[in-house]
């Protein structure tokens, strides 16, 4: 009898454990999610990719944290979408781990209709699950004034998205960004620099005037040291040769010498902040925000990131990385990218998911997100925030897209060497020859 | 009372099953993964391809991994001397009848209660800052040149010192606990025999704390092997030579960083996990051999 009771207890405990496991799965999903509306029921048993009936809910996993402005606007847009269509959008705010979390969940069979992430990274990570979006992008939506969606969006990014998608749109870009030299227009004016520099020589002249006016011309953080170096080098010789140098540890190269020499000269002339080599992110960028430094090479997200540091009358300006003499590329070659939406091929309602995406990347919500985040809008007719007005021209004139990080992080062995040696270079601890020697080790 | 096997099995089964599912399965999977070419950590086993010892060979010939191993070896060795030495000294002082023992014990332990991120940020922003940091202000007071505490030449030691500073309190408490377990009768007898304070320390305290050394060594090794947060605080967003550790490199290989997801190599990441576990086991085994807890009874 006792044995029977014991066995029954074991069965009960195991059932309880099983029940806990199911509940915990649900409760963890609920606790980590914030639904735009209350939960809906399971969707019907349609084939993936077919949208024959209206779903009760769509599941959206986002790369934003729930307190971020982007997340707040996306949630409001979802609520509006729900009010208009009756389709609830259940949003899970995963933050920057969204790529991996979504992939793990997809591999485990979790139902996710769509998600967002970096334009390139999503393709690298989710490629086996991404639906071809061309047919949806070629339709018109309430926010596109009768035109196909892909015609009203930033054509440079749509072209890039098609290129990296192998000729078709696998994701819809939004929140575009570009790497440019961000500067304090007030400091430039005070120093008598009336025109943003185009060439390296003009850049040096501007730096001199700024330094003479009592402001430090430029600074950098540890996280972006490689960007200064990489941008110059890749402009000099292009992507293929840069990749070749990194891959083969072939740093004893004329273009590398010229690049190192240019930055060494910047140090010798006193144009770098004395703290530049010791700045731990984001210490350096605080200095442009508080007005002690005039320039910082960074993405167009910088004004938003520093909005609590900059004074009310702070005027942001941007110019493309200056063109060096005899460089292969000029101002037309820059890094730019975007976040993006992807719809998974496990979704039974891709059209409904795309309807929401279209409402976010064009029309009212596109402008609202750009306005609230001081970001770049996706639609061609949308208004750019004043703090990024100069970037619009840079973006429009960019015809060559350099890879993220200018390939400097392709090989982590090379990257950590470059980071340490470049910091030493801009603090006067290495000259050109020693820099090359250290890099070749 | 007669023990019923069914009862024992019945009550143990849920716990054992839970252990097997949530601990043993991931462990075995990770060990297996380290011998396969696996891109994403969640890839199904059917997509893995056998790679033999290649993941290990690749790691051991990778400069960043070598640097990472060297970094934690130095942190482990330096900290072992600095943290264990100072925490033992403080433990002895605070158990010697000094006034305000509770206050000092609380103050010294305080950094251990505060999150590592907060303490690390405090060091970076307020102590090591080149412009207004405490250390450079002290140097300026003595008319000495400022030091770039977070520059590439010094950042490793800056990080190590900050980390060690935060660790002292925890080990001090363990030492205090060990010292207080030693019967005062030993010290009284030694005093009657004419032993001085140093003799009592070397002949009573040091040998009777052997078990504590063993415990502290194991905890210290686990803590250093898992060194991650401090590296992130001192080099946010990307790796640096001075701050990279095996855990940082493992995270990079398994999860990548922005714009670097194509480098994912979860097989190599798993191999790092296995190597780190072996290191802990090795230190634990050596510690067991060197410090026998039960050769002295008190």
Taking CA atoms, A240 is separated from A121, B226, B247, in Å, by 21, 38, 32
The dihedrals phi and psi of A293, each to the nearest 5 degrees, come to -125, 145
Q: Which residues of B touch A3 (CB under 8 A)?
A: 4, 6-7
**Out of A14, A278, A416, closest to residue B149 by CB:** A278
Mean pLDDT (whole number) for B174-184: 93
Cis peptide before A282 (omega within 30 of 0): yes
Question: Look-up: residue for tokens 């000092």?
Answer: B104
* Cβ neighbours of residue B49 closer than 8 Å, sequence gap 6 or more: B36, B37
CB atoms within 10 A of CB A440: 13
Mean pLDDT (whole number) for B202-223: 91
B151 interface with A at CB cutoff 8 Å: yes
Q: What is the pLDDT of residue A21?
A: 47
**pLDDT tier at B237, thresholds 50, 70, 90:** confident
A20 interface with B at CB cutoff 8 Å: no
Which 140-179 residues of chain A touch chain B by CB within 8 A? Answer: none
Lowest mean pLDDT among A394-403, B95-104, B153-162: B95-104
CB atoms within 10 A of CB A163: 10
Min Cα separation B266/chain A (Å): 12
CB contact under 8 A, B43 and A107: yes
**pLDDT tier at B3, thresholds 50, 70, 90:** low
The string of pLDDT tens digits covering residues B117-133 is 999 999 999 999 988 89
Q: Are A426 and A276 in contact (CB under 8 A)?
A: yes
Q: What is the pLDDT of residue B296?
A: 61
The string of pLDDT tens digits covering residues A191-203 is 999 999 999 999 9
Q: Which two tokens stand for residue A156?
A: 């440079």
Q: CA-CA distance, B118 to B124, in Å (whole number)?
A: 10
Which of B6, B39, B132, B139 should one mutate to test binding to chain A, selecting the residue with the greatest count of A CBs within 10 A?
A: B6
- In total, the C-beta contacts within 8 angstroms joining chain A to chain B are 133
Q: What is the DSSP string of A174-224?
A: EEEEEEEEEEEHHHHHHHT--S---BHHHHHHHHHHHHHTTSEEEE--GGG
Q: CA-CA distance, A413 to A73, in Å (whole number)?
A: 40
CB contact under 8 A, B150 and A278: yes
Share of chain A residues as helix, strand and coil, in percent rounded to the nearest 5: 50, 15, 35
Min Cα separation B39/chain A (Å): 10
Taking CA atoms, A29 is separated from A63, A107, B101, in Å, by 16, 16, 48
ipTM above 0.90, yes or no: no
Min Cα separation A9/chain B (Å): 7
Q: What is the pLDDT of residue A254?
A: 96
Nearest-by-CA chain A residue for B249? A412
Q: What is the pLDDT of residue B260?
A: 61
CA-angle at A333, arms to A331 and A335, nearest 5°: 120
Nearest-by-CA chain B residue for A117? B258
Mean pLDDT (whole number) for B7-19: 91
Q: What is the pLDDT of residue A7?
A: 64
Q: Strand pairing of A216-219 and A57-62? A: unpaired
Spans of chain A below 50 pLDDT: 19-50
Q: Which residues of A touch B238 (CB under 8 A)?
A: 222-223, 409, 415, 419
């Amino acid at each position: 009898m006792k044995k029977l009771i014991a066995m029954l207890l074991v069965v009960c405990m195991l059932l309880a454990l099983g029940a806990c496991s199911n509940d915990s799965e649900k409760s963890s999903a609920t606790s980590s999610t914030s639904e735009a509306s209350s939960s809906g029921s399971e969707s019907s048993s349609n084939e993936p990719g077919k949208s024959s009936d209206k779903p009760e809910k769509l599941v959206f996993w986002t790369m934003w944290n729930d307190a971020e402005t982007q997340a707040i606007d996306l949630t409001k847009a979802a609520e509006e979408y729900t009010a208009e269509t009756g389709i609830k959008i259940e949003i899970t705010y995963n933050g920057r781990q969204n790529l991996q979390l979504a992939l793990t969940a997809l591999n485990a069979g979790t139902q996710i209709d769509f998600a967002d992430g970096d334009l390139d990274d999503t393709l690298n990570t989710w490629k086996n699950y991404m639906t071809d979006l061309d047919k949806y992008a070629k339709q018109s939506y309430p926010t596109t004034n009768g035109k196909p969606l892909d015609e009203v969006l930033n054509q440079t990014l749509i072209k890039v998205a098609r290129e990296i998608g192998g000729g078709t749109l696998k994701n819809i870009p939004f929140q575009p960004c570009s790497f440019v030299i961000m500067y304090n227009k007030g400091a430039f004016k005070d120093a008598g620099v009336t025109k943003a520099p185009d060439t390296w020589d003009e850049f040096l002249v501007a730096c001199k005037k700024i330094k003479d006016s009592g402001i430090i011309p430029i600074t950098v953080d540890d996280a972006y040291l490689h960007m200064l170096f990489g941008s110059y080098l890749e402009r000099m010789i292009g992507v293929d040769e840069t990749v070749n140098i990194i891959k083969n540890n072939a740093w004893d190269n004329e273009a590398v010498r010229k690049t190192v020499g240019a930055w060494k000269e910047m140090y010798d002339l006193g144009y770098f902040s004395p703290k530049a080599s010791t700045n731990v992110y984001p210490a350096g960028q605080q200095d442009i925000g508080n007005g002690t430094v005039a320039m910082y090479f960074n993405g167009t997200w910088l004004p938003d990131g520093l909005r609590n540091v900059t004074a009310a009358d702070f005027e942001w300006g941007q110019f493309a990385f200056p063109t060096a003499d005899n460089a292969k590329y000029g101002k037309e070659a820059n890094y730019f990218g975007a976040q993006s939406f992807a719809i998974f091929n496990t979704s039974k309602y891709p059209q409904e998911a795309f309807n929401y995406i279209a409402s976010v990347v064009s029309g009212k919500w596109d402008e609202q997100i750009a306005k609230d985040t001081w970001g770049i809008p996706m639609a061609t007719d949308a208004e750019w925030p004043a703090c990024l007005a100069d970037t619009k021209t840079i973006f429009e004139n960019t015809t060559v897209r350099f890879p993220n990080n200018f390939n400097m992080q392709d090989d982590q062995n090379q990257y950590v060497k470059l980071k340490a040696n470049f910091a030493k270079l801009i603090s006067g601890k290495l000259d050109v020859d020693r820099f090359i020697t250290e890099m070749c080790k | 009372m007669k023990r019923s096997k069914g009862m024992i099995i019945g009550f143990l089964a849920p716990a054992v099953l839970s252990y097997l599912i949530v601990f043993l399965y991931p462990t075995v999977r990770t060990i297996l993964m380290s011998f396969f070419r696996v891109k994403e950590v969640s890839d199904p086993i059917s997509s893995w391809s056998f790679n033999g010892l290649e993941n290990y060979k690749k790691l051991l010939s990778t400069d960043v991994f070598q640097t990472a191993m060297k970094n934690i070896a130095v942190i482990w060795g330096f900290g072992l001397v600095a943290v264990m030495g100072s925490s033992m000294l403080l433990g002895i002082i605070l158990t010697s009848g000094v006034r305000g023992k509770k206050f000092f014990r609380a103050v010294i332990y305080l950094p251990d209660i505060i999150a590592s991120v907060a303490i690390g940020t405090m060091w970076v922003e307020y102590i090591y800052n080149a412009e207004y940091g405490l250390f450079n202000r002290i140097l300026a007071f003595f008319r000495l040149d400022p030091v770039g505490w977070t520059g590439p030449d010094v950042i490793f030691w800056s990080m190590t010192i900050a980390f060690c500073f935060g660790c002292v309190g925890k080990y001090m408490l363990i030492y205090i606990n060990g010292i207080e377990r030693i019967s005062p009768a030993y010290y009284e007898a030694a005093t009657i025999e004419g032993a001085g304070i140093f003799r009592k320390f070397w002949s009573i305290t040091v040998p009777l704390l052997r078990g504590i050394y063993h415990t502290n060594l194991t905890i210290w090794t686990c803590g250093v092997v898992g060194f991650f947060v401090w590296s992130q605080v001192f080099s946010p967003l990307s790796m640096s030579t001075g701050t990279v550790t095996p855990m940082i490199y493992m995270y990079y290989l398994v999860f990548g960083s922005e714009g670097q997801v194509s480098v994912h190599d979860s097989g190599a990441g798993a191999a790092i996990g296995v190597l780190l576990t072996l290191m802990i086991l090795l230190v634990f085994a050596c510690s067991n051999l060197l410090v026998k807890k039960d050769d002295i009874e008190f």
